[in-house]
Amino acid sequence: MERAVSRPGVRYPPPLLFVVAFAVGHGLCMLYPLRIVGDEHAEGVGWIGLALIVVGVALGGWAMLAFRRAKTAIIPFYPPSALVQRGPYRFSRNPMYVALAVAYVGAALLLNTPWPLFLLPLVLVVLYATVIRPEERYLLSAFPEDYAAYRARVRRWL
């Protein structure tokens, strides 16, 4: 019989992964300047980037509001007291991470640099291995029937 997991097991704040990767990407841009589009289209791409940042922040805020309404831990170091299935969690099991990824893409577009975009797949793989898998193991242990049904009904990303 599998032993119950007492904590989610996440060892760092997930936004930190995005911030570090973006900083590395921006540093690469300083060393090896590349642009997504030329100057004649940079303003349009910048507006698209800004719109994506707004969408990411709004989605992240909505997801955090759902956690607050459920009176459960937002920070994944602490065990949740409830399985949140309302708000954006009706459509995605990880809307906060979707929000971070959308805002990350938006910031790269706003700065017109592809380097952070090249790093995003690595960010998502590391996020899955070090955050999402431990969180899912914990949720399956803490809410076995409810989480299994939720996982069968709702996609991980979108």
Name the residue ranges covered by the structural domains of the chain. Answer: 48-153
% of the chain surpassing 90 pLDDT: 87
Q: What does pTM read for this prediction?
A: 0.93
Mean per-residue pLDDT, 71-80: 88
User: Could you read off the pLDDT of 123-139 as tens digits, one per residue?
Assistant: 999 999 999 999 999 99
Q: Note the pLDDT of residue 14.
A: 96
- At 89, the amino acid letter reads Y
Q: Tens digits of per-residue pLDDT, 20-74?
A: 999 999 999 999 999 999 999 999 999 999 999 999 999 999 999 999 999 998 9
CA distance 5 to 101: 28
Backbone angles phi, psi at 53, to 5 degrees: -60, -45
Residue 14's nearest CA partner among 87, 89, 103, 86 is: 103
- Distance of alpha carbon 64 from the chain centroid: 12
Residue 148 has pLDDT above 90, yes or no: yes
